[in-house]
Structure 1
């Protein structure tokens, strides 16, 4: 079905110009999807179908909270540091990532640095740095994360606790936690936490 090749070519050009920083894992997932489809359809048609599926899944609800829209569920502010998976966004205050996995990875790396570099080992210490009192109701934040994660405010956060803490922080930051446990674990693996 060579007639579909121009469509795929156009989609490839549009996709690469709109999403110049697509992660290799995203590209791999498109190829994997195409591979499943290829068994019954022509190769070019399969690639078009996979590209369309990817573009459809890329849509972000404009009414979603800012952190969800930016794939930055921890609402990490702009700094000079450039994170793996960071891409150009239009938010003047907060970073944008190519996928939520990379935004969650950045959260995990920051929290781990709080422990390693700054000696902030306990939940209340980590949250106090993440959400300082001059910008947040830090006490309420600590109480919420403690209740959601099951970790006492003055307890040390162990490596195995990071996914629970991050999930609770995402919920606090965005009023929702739409990501599965698998994605959070994958992000922690990428951050070398688990």
Structure 2
């Protein structure tokens, strides 16, 4: 029976959650940066997640652009992996092919269409593979402020639908009619009596109120007649 192949061991960058193999520096307060421990990693930064490690790679490239005026793939990679310790020419050529531009072409490093393949190519070159999903790569970019313009916009939350149940509709209409009945009944005692009634008994209450109003009107008329005589 054939034995299952063991999963490949994590690379150094993967272990450190630093897929770009950024060198440690006490001057860089990266988001998610872990305290230095030379017994674990003597040279490179370590992060609490690969997403924050990827974000740091993007921010470092932006630093090259903003502070050093670098705006070509050759400029980025020559700074990232200097010839003193790397085959920088091969690195530059591989990344430029992935991005789809000439190594010396001026590019906008803040554009998703440039930074997305650039980041992925650096991760591949530094680790020999890319174990992160397309969604994770996009999240690394998003955390650095670069968003895929083709991504669907998050739809707004729908407005709360009005309640249309029979009970609720009856309550609303009942409340409106009840208020009308209260306004019509001008005698304080009758107003309080109508206000205390449940809307389910509204019709009966209106009928009673009508009778009472008629009786009261007749009573007032009778008193007026007696006073006049």
Distance, in Å, in 2 between the alignment partners of 1:62 and 1:176 is 11
Distance, in Å, in 1 between the alignment partners of 2:70 and 2:121 is 18
Kindly tell me the number of residue pairs found equivalent between the two proteins.
Answer: 134
Name 1:172's counterpart in structure 2. Answer: 125
Shift of 1:63: 2.1
What RMSD in Å do the two structures reach over aligned CA positions? 1.5
- Pair 118,73 (structure 1): closer, same or farther in 2 beyond 3 Å: same
- Pair 69,62 (structure 1): closer, same or farther in 2 beyond 3 Å: farther
Return the index of the structure with the highest Cα Rg. Answer: 2
Alignment TM-score, normalising by the size of structure 2: 0.56
The answer to whether residue 43 in structure 2 is matched with residue 93 in structure 1 is: yes
Name 1:186's counterpart in structure 2. Answer: 139
After TM superposition, the structure 1 = structure 2 runs for residues 18-167 of structure 1, keeping only pairs within 5 Å, are 63-80=9-26, 81-88=28-35, 90-158=40-108, 159-160=111-112, 161-167=114-120
Distance, in Å, in 2 between the alignment partners of 1:121 and 1:171 is 21
Distance, in Å, in 1 between the alignment partners of 2:45 and 2:140 is 17
Alignment TM-score, normalising by the size of structure 1: 0.65
- For structure 2, the residue ranges without an aligned partner over 5 or more in a row are 1-6, 148-229
Is the contact between residue 108 and residue 166 of structure 1 (CA under 8 Å) also seen in structure 2?
yes
**Which structure has more RCO (C-alpha within 8 Å, separation ≥ 6)?**
1
Following TM superposition, the consecutive aligned residue runs of length 4 or more in structure 1 with deviations greater than 4 angstroms are: none
